Amino acid sequence: MTPADLSRALFDLVNALVERRRAAGDEVVLELSPEAVALERPKLREHGDWASNIAMRIAKPLGSNPRELATELAAGLADVDGVASAEVAGPGFINIRLEAAAAGALAKTIVDAGAAYGHSETLTGRVINLEFVSANPTGPLHIGHTRWAALGDSIGRVLRAAGAKVANEYYINDAGNQMDNFGASVLAAAKGEPTPENGYPGQYVTDLAARVLEREPHLLELDDDVALHTAREIAYELQLGEIRASLERFNVHFDVWTSERALHAKDDEGVSAVDAAVERLRAQGHVYDEDDAVWVRTTDFGDDKDRVIRRGNGVYTYFAADAAYYLDKGDRGFEHKIYLLGADHHGYVHRLKALAGAAGDDPERDIEVLIGQLVSINGAKLSKRAGNIIELDDLQAWLGTDALRYTLARYPADSPLTIDPEILQRRTNDNPVFYVQYAHARTSAVARNALASGVDRSSFAPELLEHETESALLGALQEFPRIVAQSAELREPHRVARYIEELAGLYHRWYDNCRVLPLGDEPVGDLQRTRLWLNDATGTVIRNGLDLLGVSAPERM
């Protein structure tokens, strides 16, 4: 019996109780969905497998004592197939204990479902654009981008597991002065000259300059303007290629790469996406002209001041590109937009929400802006290439993709984070990623050894899974779909990490107490075969959880 099955049974009992009250002439107003009948894992195992506070939640609408309601519901639950007992505790909690066979049946369900176990339809029908990283293509990705890469990709994975249709998107900030300064820096390096004012220093610029000269050997013979344009465009292409490669090596894939330049590009009629965006906002009634400039009345939607979208000299502001980009996302069918921004972008929250309102959307429903906090790594050295940052590539080479991704996804985005590389390099239980990966490797080793000993999954007797460690392990396995759905709804993949750490601990305790392999000349029986199902089910869930974090599940360690 799954938690969903049990919730449904309890929901049906509540409905039957309500109908009996109505038949007796009581006026009862109670709207309740199956999803609202939540179950919780009791803190103490002796209290049962599941607990519900539904009696206390419905007592007021029914005008009844919650403990009396709980007693009535518990009596009904005791007659449900698979429920061993239901007891009332405290002011109206219902503690539920499942029969061993009903609880153990989950092991086969998980193995049969495989990679699909944990997936749900919680967010089915939601079409989401998830934008993250979006670093300027003027240098390598650094430690801050690394955190957003890990978190953003994991958020996308849990959203998809919850049934949403998600596109990971990278916004390339390839317009504006920073690109000219970048090009000037590369050209200066090609000429052997110092970095210009407001330029980009670092060995990576010198390396780019050398590659640009390989691509265009006559660069230094060109007119200054042509040379600058050529150096900028080739270096931009090369640097963006490095960013793409770094992210792919980090197991982060983007479905869409959108160029800011494309938003400013004119069509055959001389109109850009930015031009069109201004007129669309004007048609919504939130654009006005003042002091030769064009403004968006974002204060109508909670912004601290109205925003200039086009200056008096006719030059668009960054806000104009933001507007065009937001509208473009909607035009592509994304009803919900999630922006993941760095710690220095707090000012963008009200601005983007106001923009959504000005575009005719609901700022509280259609757009979500997540702000991440800073991350540091003890003992990390600044990049030899960039000189003033800690590069993603260097971190990956030092600590490994799995350790970095797991650790960065293990904490909420809004919490500052300091990583201890010494712990991440240990092959001990105090290293969380090792602890979880080792648990998975152990499930694989048990499966291999079982096969060699003649233990297979040819029979399944879930009623034999009676040991207290088996009950605890099965209870945790039941929680996985709820954890994934909750992680998706709250945009908090760290919940998956903490869950599989707890699951790994429960598995290790089970492993120490319950043998899968026969001892000595002991014949292979249904108990060993059934325990192999439970072993493989646990491996499946740990593997699925690690996959949601973009982390590998090794079979040998």
Residues 6+ apart with CB under 8 A from 120: 161, 162, 163, 481, 484, 485
Measured between alpha carbons, how far is 94 from 70 in angstroms, rounded to an integer? 6
Taking only the tens place, the pLDDT of each residue in 310-344 is 999 999 999 999 999 999 999 999 999 999 998 87
What distance in Å separates the CA atoms of residue 481 and residue 118, rounded to the nearest whole number?
A: 4
Tokens of 112: 């049969």
pLDDT for position 383: 66
338: left (phi over 0), alpha (psi -120 to 50) or beta: beta
3-state secondary structure 102-135: HHHHHHHHHHHHHHHCCCCCCCCCCEEEEECCCC
Contact status, residue 517 vs residue 535, Cβ threshold 8 Å? no
Q: Which parts of the chain have pLDDT scores under 50?
A: none
Q: What confidence score (pLDDT) does residue 32 get?
A: 79
pLDDT at 379: 79
Domain boundaries, the chain: 3-98, 106-122+427-548
Strands 127-131 and 256-259, by their bridges, are unpaired
Name the maximum alpha-carbon separation found in the chain: 96
What's the mean per-residue pLDDT of the chain?
Answer: 93
User: What does residue 25 show for φ and ψ, rounded to 5 degrees?
Assistant: 100, 0
**Cα-Cα-Cα-Cα dihedral of 492, 337, 259, 255, to 10°?**
60
Contact in structure between 101 and 116 (CB atoms under 8 Å): no
CA-to-CA distance for 204 and 182, rounded, in angstroms? 12
Q: Do strands 287-290 and 93-98 pair parallel, antiparallel, or not at all (unpaired)?
A: unpaired
CB atoms within 10 A of CB 82: 16
> pLDDT value at position 520?
85
From 107, 100, 105, 115, select the one nearest 537 (Cα to Cα).
Answer: 107
Query: First CA to last CA across the chain, in angstroms?
Result: 34
The pair of structure tokens assigned to 305 is: 């001041």
- Token pair listed for 370: 């997540």
CATH classification code of 3-98 = 3.30.1360.70
Question: For 347-367, how does the pLDDT look when each residue is reduced to its tens digit (9 = 90+)?
Answer: 889 889 999 999 999 999 999
Q: Which helix (H) or strand (E) holds 466?
A: none
CA distance 502 to 547: 17
Which candidate, 543, 550, 555, places its Cα nearest to that of 118?
543
Q: CATH homologous superfamily of domain 106-122+427-548?
A: Isoleucyl-tRNA Synthetase; Domain 1 (1.10.730.10)
- Asked if residue 439 lies in contact with residue 542, where contact means CB atoms within 8 angstroms, the answer is yes
